[in-house]
Chains A and B, each alone.
Chain A
Amino acid sequence: MKKHIYALTTAFWFVLLVAVASGCDEQVDPVLGTDQAFTFYGFFNPQGDTQSVRIYPIEGTLERTVAEPLDATVTSTNKETGEVIEWRDSIITFRDGNVGHVFYSKFRADHDTRYTLEAVTRNGRNSYVDIRTPPDGEVEITNLFSARSSVIVEMTYTRTPKILQTASIYTVRVLFPDGTGSTTVRVTIRSSQIEQISDDVWKVTIMPSFDIGSIFTALALRPGRDEVFLDEIEVRAFIVSKEWESPIGVFDPELLVQPGTFSNVENGFGFVSGGYYDSFSFQIDDESARNAGFSVE
């Protein structure tokens, strides 16, 4: 009798459990979805004839982008004049085989002008960003220090919200080893110092006496044996709008990858701003060139 009770009890509980449990088939949805529509990356260049921005749709799956038109109407609006320009989608296949959408438009953006870039889907979801292009700044050499083995050139940029980075391009002449001729080479060095002096005023300092070591290394030449003649120094500064600043001071992709960490897009992610490359070329006198370690004819 007791054995029957045990059997029935056991059977009862398990039937109950099965009845309860088998009715619960839970789905899981690991992607919650968002109303945010797009992610933008790029900048308006007041000194370029074509404006371009990379646009990613914010999607519910992680799949490789396919070479099909993006559901997005992209426009830019000049807030000063009210002009609206529609951009076109160019579907780019990159070297690594990935496909991306780069929207572009052939027009020159104005300096110190507010723009709104907006992307809208067919069903009305949109993302937009307001930017202001930097003004057309000015640059001049404000100090040249020249002593044996120490040559320092200071340049002051005015009407400049921010300088993101600079590059010094040295145009030099190198004699052939057999002395029959020479060749002109451009060597790019990224070693200048950038310092903000005041609002919209920046100082860039280059040291040709320091950079010459890198030039010899880049050209595989030997100081003291080979001669390098300096023709010209060009300083290219990337001048940008004030808001173009990493929250951590450096552009570390491992930190900035987190969405929203470095973002100015409304109802979306990414960063769009304004910037242009300013090129300033100059020559230094023979004595300074000699002090910096260059050869002088």
Chain B
Amino acid sequence: MHRIAMQRIAMKTPGIKWLIAGFLALSLSITGEVALAQQSIIRGTVVAAIDGESLQGVNIALYEADSLRLGTVSGNDGVYALAKIQAGTYELRASFIGFESFVDTLVIGRADRIIINLTLEIEQTTLDELVVEGDREAGTARVLAGQTTIRPADIEMIPGPDISGDLVNYLTTLPGIVSVGDRGGQLFIRGGEPWQNLVLLDGMWVYQPFHILGFFSSFPSEILQTVDVYAGGYTSQYGGRISSVIDVKSRNGNKKHYAGTASATPFVSGFTFEGPIVDDILSFLVSYRRSNMEDGASRLVDDELPFEFGDFFAKTHAFINSNTQLSLSMLRTNDKGSVFEGNDLEEPEYVDWKNRSVSTRYLVFPRAFPIMAEFIIAASRLKSTQESGLGGDGAKSSSLASVNTNVNITHFKANGEVKWGLFARTLELQSALDGLYQGISIRKEYLTEVGIYLEPEIANFFGWTIRGGLRIHSFPSKNSGFLEPRFRAVRPRDRDEFTLALGSFHQEVVGLADRRDAAGVFTAWASSPDNTKVPEALHAIAGYRRSVTPNLDLSIEGYAKKLRNLFIPEWTSYPRFSTTLQPAEGRVFGGDFRAEYRKGPFTGLLTYGISSVRYTAKQDAIKLWFGEDNLDFRPAHDRRHQINAVTSFDFRAFELNMRWQFGSGLPYSRALGFDGFMVVDGNLDVFQDSGSRRVIYERPYNGVLPTYHRLDVTIEKEVDLSNGVHLSALAGVINGYDRQNLFYLDVFTLRRVDQLPVIPTFGLKLEFE
């Protein structure tokens, strides 16, 4: 009786039936695939001979009697596959700009499962240009329906206060990505809020990845292999978030010889160290950074900059054998500082947070099946606290811990591939909020998420490469589940490319934050409030890219998002943060324009983004206060116009980088004045009751803050000292014309906090290899 009852309960959980059906369908599909797989397949990885790092974007083709039969491009981890090969004699050719081509003759039988790992030597004559021209699969203008691929070389050209680049400085050049300023660590992507972004590093979830000083993130460019940014419309492999995905893959470390860097600037100091543990087989990579604000940057501006941060990353990677890879990654970050400095009525607020993440990733080409299998187990934890006043009472804290298990399978086919996978996640959410947020005092909850996805790709369907997907995401602990259809399509035509993406997304774990203005930092993590639907988003993206000349790429992309079941703080005229939540809906419309020009020593980027974000608040009191059933408004992160212009110029061994950025003003709520409030009921005693101060607000978010713009310039020179040792020196200025950009406006006291003034920067970096 008990077993039958359990089965019935399980079958009633939404999504479970779909999960079982989906799994059966996949099983049949795999079985069928095996049965039909009488043709051969070649798989493998491509690495660079100089350091053993995997190479993406390598062209690999199979020729028969000088006729091209099959071709592909190596992807993440340098993995490639050529499937459904008939028996015969072929020539395998691999080519990549800056590397010597690889050619080999193969005799392939029937149903052969061949593993060929390629090692490419650098083409000596173009050694110095490798980084600049090596890869055109990435680049600012190469956006595919919301997806931008970023390489370290792209980051290096963005001027910043650190002599080593950081991912966040490049991200903020992309249209549609809004940073509220140089502190806080919050990114808003195409109208979404920071808690709606999924950020992964080698499969680890990083819940608060951007440092308190906005120039830095958990991702220094020196550890990066590649970064895929999905500003929307992402594939079925990703889920649990409704706005965007930033999928960061780190390098594996040099498998040939030891190498490292040590750098110091007024903002941050750090080092990297990598090398082989077993030549060509096992390597390590370590990166460490720590801020120098108190002894460095604070003295340059003669102002207290109350920020401390640091990050540590470590990885080992191994080619266990010709068809198996294993890696272990670890990330630790810490941030501490004050974003809100207090006023007569409120104490200053100090925030700190720590990320701790670890992952294991196992990649295998099973010899028996024409697939690639990836297994990831990752554990992540974020602990955040906010205190009012120095050592004051009423500290609030929130922590989020998760264990994620993912299985991702790729079936290689002649005209595309089929991806599918399973995922399971357990989360522990804890909050001690002293009554904040719907009266939550102390709360601890456990959630489980499980699911499956299937995403077949069809290449060359009337000229389109179509990737349709379905993700089944179940939340057994909340007795809910969702079907999430996804769709992506690309049509390359000579110099043109059309792209399209659609998708449905849900998010069970929500972040609760003060959004009176967009500068709020502390986020409390909780499951979506009881008896409410989970936040949901629908995305639609359409884009066009054209290679006008071999050096000039232009792209334009339009997008729309529909947001449902959001939660935002209720409004109040009390001069304090209202922590009771109200439901809201949202919609986002926008467009990006990107132009990228590269020729010789010069690279220029110009991006422009326009967007409109509107929320509809549904607080019960709106009808009473404003005479309308709901209230439409622009939320605090709705930046209407964004422009970024970046140039990078190499001359006489100097590299000059310049960036000018512009953003239109953000909305905020203006006041008409200030008075007081008393409850005029039968208990009123004007001689005894103190009353409360009150803000007489205009209609919410009717005001617009000033525009934001800033010019950053750096010049860098690298000098070879001796065998494999280089010294780089950087000098530059951030906010070159000392623009007073507003960071935070305290509407109660009229006190404004500006972003950093003009601040010189300089640094030294020593590299050896």
Q: Is A269 an interface residue (CB 8 A)?
A: yes
Q: How far is the CB of A121 from chain B (nearest CB, A)?
A: 14
Given contacts A34-B696, A39-B676, A259-B696, contact A95 B690 (CB under 8 A): yes
- Chain A count of residues within 8 A CB distance of the other chain: 69
> In the bound complex, how far is the Cα of B361 from the Cα of A219, in angstroms?
70
Within the complex, the shortest CB–CB distance from B474 to chain A, in Å, comes to: 37
B645 an interface residue at 8 Å Cβ cutoff?
Answer: yes
Is A18 within 8 A of B736, CB to CB?
A: yes
Interfacial chain B residues near A182, Cβ < 8 Å: none
CB-CB under 8 A from A98, the residues of chain B are 690-691
Query: Contact: B686 with A33, CB < 8 Å?
Result: no
Contact present for B682 and A165 (CB under 8 Å): yes
The minimal Cβ–Cβ distance linking B444 to chain A, given in whole angstroms, is 28
Chain A, range 235-261, C-beta contacts under 8 Å to B: 238, 240, 244, 246-248, 251, 253-259, 261
With A54-B686, A258-B621 as contacts: A36 and B707 at CB distance below 8 Å: no
Q: Which of B559-586 contact A (CB under 8 A)?
A: 572-575, 580
CB distance A257 to B574 under 8 Å? yes
Q: Is there a chain A Cβ closer than 8 Å to B670's Cβ?
A: yes
B701 interfacial by beta-carbon distance below 8 Å: no
Measured CB to CB, the closest approach of chain B to A161, in angstroms, equals: 14
**Which residues of A have CB within 8 Å of B703?**
30
Q: Please name all residues of chain B whose beta carbon is closer than 8 Å to the beta carbon of A6 when the two chains form the complex.
A: 601-602, 649
For chain B residues 638-667, which have a beta carbon within 8 Å of chain A?
A: 645, 647, 649, 651, 656, 658, 660, 662
**CA separation between A28 and B711, bound complex, in Å?**
21
Whether, in the assembled complex, B739 has its beta carbon less than 8 Å from a beta carbon of chain A, the answer is yes
Decide if A62 touches B705 in the complex (CB within 8 Å). Answer: no
A32 close to B680 (CB less than 8 A): no
B672 close to A62 (CB less than 8 A): no
Residue B92 interfacial (CB < 8 Å): no
B393 in contact (CB, < 8 A): no
User: Closest approach, in angstroms, between the C-beta of B603 and any C-beta of chain A?
Assistant: 10
Residues of A within 8 A of B674 (CB): 31, 58-62
Asked, given contacts A28-B752, A257-B573, whether A53 binds B686 with beta carbons under 8 Å apart, the answer is: yes
Question: Is A31 touching B706 in the complex (CB atoms < 8 A)?
Answer: no
| Contact present for B676 and A10 (CB under 8 Å) | no
Residues of B within 8 A of A34 (CB): 672-673, 696
Q: From residue A90, how far is it (CB to closest CB) to chain B in Å?
A: 8
Partner of B680, one of A14, A41, A96: A41
Say yes or no: is A22 at the interface (Cβ < 8 Å to chain B): yes
Option from B624, B676, B698, B739 in Cβ contact (under 8 Å) with A32: B698
Give Cα A235 to B684, complex, Å.
19
Interface centre among A54, A64, A92, A273 (most CB of B within 10 A): A54
Hey, which chain A residues are within 8 Å of B711, CB to CB? 14, 17-18, 21
Chain B residue at minimum C-beta to C-beta distance from A99: B690
A63 near B: Cβ within 8 Å?
yes
Interface residue? A274 (CB, 8 A)? no
Determine the chain A residues whose CB is within 8 A of the CB of B691 once the complex forms. Answer: 41, 54, 56, 98, 100
Interfacial chain A residues near B692, Cβ < 8 Å: 257
Instruction: Report the minimum CB–CB distance from B418 to chain A (whole Å).
Output: 46
List the B side residues contacting A253 at CB < 8 Å: 677, 679
Q: Which A residue's beta carbon lies closest to that of B706?
A: A26
Partner of B676, one of A7, A14, A24, A100: A100
CA distance A237 to B726 in the complex (A): 89
Q: Decide: A2 near B600, CB < 8 A? Known: A30-B747, A58-B674.
A: yes
The answer to whether B740 touches A25, judged by C-beta atoms less than 8 angstroms apart, is yes
User: With an 8 A cutoff between CB atoms, is B709 at the interface?
Assistant: yes
- Docked-complex contact A32 and B693, CB < 8 angstroms: no
* 8 A Cβ contacts from B710-769 to A: 711, 713, 736-737, 739-740, 742, 745, 747-750, 752
Q: Is the CB of A102 within 8 A of B687?
A: yes
Closest Cβ neighbor of A268 among chain B residues: B675
Partner of B678, one of A22, A54, A165: A54
- Give the complex CA separation of A296 and B674 in angstroms: 59
| B67 contacts partner chain A, Cβ-Cβ < 8 Å | no
Contact with A along B487-518 (1 / 0, CB 8 A): 00000000000000000000000000000000
Asked whether, in the complex, the Cβ of A258 is within 8 Å of the Cβ of B625, the reply is yes
* B1 contacts the other chain (CB 8 A): no
- In the complex, chain A residues 1-16 whose Cβ is within 8 Å of any chain B Cβ: 2-3, 6-7, 10, 13-14
CA distance A188 to B580 in the complex (A): 34
Of the candidates A28, A32, A270, the one having the most CB atoms from chain B within 10 angstroms of its own CB is A28
In contact, B344 and A64 (Cβ under 8 angstroms): yes
Please, which residues of chain B bring their CB within 8 A of the CB of A218? none
Chain A, residue nearest B643 (CB): A17
Q: Decide if B670 touches A255 in the complex (CB within 8 Å).
A: no
B694 at interface, CB cutoff 8 A: yes
**Complex: how many Å from CA A262 to CA B679?**
10
B552 contacts A by Cβ under 8 Å: no
Task: List chain A residues, Cβ under 8 A from B575.
Answer: 62
Shortest CB-to-CB span from B629 to chain A, Å, is: 16
Known: A62-B674, A257-B572. A43 touches B684 (CB 8 A): yes
Please tell me which one of the listed residues B645, B684, B695 contacts residue A13 in the complex, with CB atoms under 8 A apart. B645
Enumerate B306-354 residues with CB–CB distance to A below 8 Å.
Answer: 344-345
Q: Kindly list chain B residues whose C-beta atoms are within 8 Å of the C-beta of A17.
A: 645, 660, 711
Is B593 in the interface zone, CB < 8 Å from A?
A: no
A33–B573 contact, CB under 8 A?
Answer: no
A6 to B649, CA, bound (A): 8
A52 interfacial contact with B, CB 8 Å: yes
B695 in contact with A62 (CB, 8 Å): yes
Name, among A30, A54, A102, A256, the residue most crowded by chain B CB atoms within 10 Å (CB to CB).
A30
B residues within 8 A CB of A254? 572, 580, 621
Q: Is the CB of B709 within 8 A of A269?
A: no
Q: Of all chain B residues, which has the CB nearest A256?
A: B679
Given A6-B601, A10-B658, A28-B742, answer yes or no on A59-B684 (Cβ-Cβ < 8 Å): no
How far does the Cβ of A53 sit from chain B's closest Cβ, in whole Å? 7
Contacts of A261 in B (CB 8 A): 624-625
Q: Which residues of A contact B705 (CB under 8 A)?
A: 28
Assembled-state Cα–Cα distance A167/B752 (Å): 50
Contact B673 A59 (CB under 8 A): yes
The distance from the CB of A104 to the nearest CB of chain B, in whole angstroms, is 9
**How far is it, in angstroms, between the C-alpha of A28 and the C-alpha of B709 when the chains are bound?**
15
- B7 CB within 8 Å of chain A: no
Contact with A along B603-642 (1 / 0, CB 8 A): 0100000000000000001001100000000000000000
A62-B687 in contact (CB<8A): no
Distance in Å: Cβ of A8 to nearest Cβ of chain B = 11
Smallest CB–CB gap between B234 and chain A, Å?
34
Contact A251 B737 (CB under 8 A): no
B742 near A3: Cβ-Cβ < 8 Å: no
8 Å CB contact of A62 from B645, B682, B693: B693
Residues of B within 8 A of A238 (CB): 682
| Measured CA separation A38–B676 after assembly (Å) | 10
Give A90-124 as 1s and 0s: 1 = Cβ < 8 Å from B's Cβ atoms.
00101110101010000000000000000000000
Closest to A262 in B: B680
| B668 interfacial by beta-carbon distance below 8 Å | yes
Taken together as a complex, chains A and B put the C-alpha atoms of A265 and B186 apart, in Å, by 44
CA of A54 to CA of B649 in the docked complex: distance in angstroms? 68
B residues less than 8 Å from A53 (CB atoms): 686
Further pairs besides A54-B691, A58-B696: 7, Cβ < 8 Å:
A25-B739, A28-B742, A30-B745, A39-B676, A60-B673, A62-B344, A261-B625
Q: Which 3 A-B pairs have the closest CB atoms?
A: A26-B706, A94-B690, A165-B682
Which A residues have a C-beta under 8 Å from some C-beta of B?
2-3, 6-7, 10, 13-14, 17-18, 21-22, 24-28, 30-34, 36, 38-39, 41-43, 52-54, 56-64, 92, 94-96, 98, 100, 102, 164-165, 238, 240, 244, 246-248, 251, 253-259, 261-262, 269-271, 273, 275
Q: Could you list 25 examples of A-B contacts with CB < 8 Å? A: A3-B651, A10-B656, A10-B658, A17-B645, A22-B739, A25-B739, A30-B670, A31-B672, A36-B673, A42-B680, A53-B686, A54-B689, A58-B673, A58-B675, A62-B575, A62-B693, A63-B344, A64-B344, A94-B689, A165-B681, A251-B679, A251-B680, A251-B681, A257-B574, A270-B675
